Amino acid sequence: MPSADDRPPARLEGLVVCADVGSTFTKALLVDLDAPGGATVVASAEHRTTVSTDVLDGYAACVASLAEADARATTAPALACSSAGGGLRIAVVGGEQLVTAEAGRRVALSSGGAVVCVVAAGAPAGLAALPAELAAARADVVLLTGGTDGGNRAVLVEAATALVAAGWTGPVVVAGNAEAVPEVQGVLEAGGVPHVVAPNVVPRIGRLAPEGARAAVREVFLRHVIGGKGLSRSPAFAAMVRGATPDLVLGGVELLARGAGPDRPGVGDVVVVDVGGATTDVHSVVEPDPDTAFSGVDGLSRDVAGTTAVARTVEGDLGMRWSAPTTVAAVAGGPHAVDRLADAAQVRQDDPGFLPTTPADADDEEALARAAVGEALRRHAGRARVVVGPGGRVVERSGTDLREVRLVVASGGALRHGRPGVAGRVLAGSVGPDAGGGAGWQLPREARVVVDEVSLLAAAGLLRDLRPDAAYALVSRLAAVAVAS
């Protein structure tokens, strides 16, 4: 078990344990950072996450399993990410519904959080709805946005004032009009509200700048949230955790896509779909076309909230256990009998620890995964449609265009532990020339599919800042599997 003083050294060497403390399972890898040929996985382990007792109990079980392969696992430095206890819940409070509030929602998603509510000052109910929305959302942190730099100062100040009036005492990340920030800080300080200031997420119309806010949300998660969830009695857990799991995974996805410099190339555009017990998450890195991202040329409609290459969506109604019944709604008219699948979904919601033991159970498991993955990818990708306006015919696109993506990485217990060939069957309707059934969905047309069997992307995200060479070696191994498949 780690102690509170077992923080990783400035430069990690030798063996390290990389753990992902998930909502259902805790996964751990023992990684040799300095293996010949680059970092490699020595052993992997997983154990049900022990939220009901102490999450370090499940982690200790993983380490004991790793130690069977190499006894040094018990003394190796530990790095962890966590989505246990509901993960990171973010409320977005912004100005205009279609600009700063929408930009804040996108940034919050890319920061590793589940967006539990969005309140826009310019919406019909406006800030008057804030107290009720916050009470219902059970948010961990508020991302406060509003105004472009040098623009309207009042909206950000009014939103901060409304937060204090609503009785909010949790942490706030302020990422709005830079000229209004000093006044906003005064309002929050007078109300006793802890806060962190980040650069504006929309410094100007059409420009989305998520990086500063993402870093601030991570800081808030580590300082205020991870210890406040009561996941462990030991301070060692907080010492291990470097961020929310989706945030670290997205860092691994970025490294896979973009590489680490001229001598360490990435694979290019990539999408990752992770189907879990409660949610199905989709991460993508797709470099936007600079000529069309905002200019509106070539018949493309413009996005006033701005575009970013890095995107993430979290679908809280699509999952394999807790949200299995709502997943069934996505398969109406599909090849699997909906009534039968509804029964199977209810069994899984009633017993989240359920594991398939018969071929029929495995069929149901794959049908649920197919429904969750397919619907999550469609929501993330959006579709293209032709609309006619004053300027003539325009192609209006929603979501992130995945059509040219060449690599799809799939993860989640249903894919890691399924029958041989499960990934191909689950993604059959979502990847390929016929994906989407000709309905205009912007899904990958010619992509390889590879399963992240041992959570390499989470480990790469954990190591990315401390040992970028090792992190790159791990994602390169995942890329090599894709090339060989």
Residues composing the chain: 485
Residue 106 and residue 77 share a domain = no
Same domain, 75 and 97: no
CA separation for the pair 167, 170 (Å, rounded): 9
Residue 217 lies in a domain: yes
Looking at the fold, whether 347 and 414 belong to one and the same domain comes out as: yes
Residue 482 located in a structural domain: no
Residue 485 lies in a domain: no
Contact 115, 90 (CB under 8 A): yes
pLDDT band at 8 (very low <50, low <70, confident <90, very high): low
Could you tell me the CATH number of the domain that includes residue 66? 3.30.420.40
Q: Is residue 428 part of a domain?
A: yes
User: Which pLDDT does position 7 carry in this prediction?
Assistant: 59
Contact of 250 with 284, CB cutoff 8 Å: no
pLDDT band of 131, cuts 50, 70, 90:
very high
pLDDT value of residue 307 = 59
Is 463 domain-assigned?
no
**What average pLDDT does this structure show over 195-199?**
96
Residue 69 has pLDDT above 70, yes or no: yes
Region 360-389: what's the mean pLDDT? Answer: 87
Give residue for tokens 């360490």: 264
Over residues 442-462, the pLDDT tens digits come to: 999 999 999 999 999 999 999
Same-domain check for residues 150 and 299: no
25 and 126 both lie in a single domain? no
Given this model, what pLDDT does residue 139 score? 92
User: Where does a domain end: 213, 245, 277?
Assistant: 245
Cβ–Cβ < 8 Å for 459, 18: yes
Interval 136-141 mean pLDDT: 92
Number of domains in the chain: 3
Residues 63 and 123 in one domain: no
Question: Which DSSP helix (H) or strand (E) runs through 359?
Answer: helix 359-381
Low-confidence winner among 14-18, 71-75, 179-183, 294-298 (lowest mean pLDDT): 294-298
CATH code of the domain covering residue 214 = 3.40.50.2300
Collapse the DSSP code of 13 into the 3-class scheme (helix H, G, I; strand E, B; otherwise coil) and give the result.
Answer: coil
pLDDT confidence of residue 485: 59
Domain range enclosing 188: 88-225
Please tell me the least confidently modeled range out of 12-21, 227-236, 361-370.
227-236
**Does 322 lie in the same domain as 212?**
no
Torsion angle of C-alpha atoms 401, 280, 44, 462, degrees rounded to 10? 60
Q: Is 245 helix (H, G, I), strand (E, B) or coil?
A: helix
Please tell me whether residues 95 and 80 are part of one structural domain.
no
332-353 pLDDT, tens digit each: 655 566 778 999 999 999 998 8
pTM: 0.83
Look at residue 459 in the predicted model and tell me its pLDDT: 97
Task: Enumerate the H helices of 111-241 as residue ranges.
Answer: 130-137, 154-165, 181-190, 211-220, 235-240
Task: Check whether residue 203 and residue 237 sit in a common domain.
Answer: no
Are 97 and 181 members of one domain?
A: yes
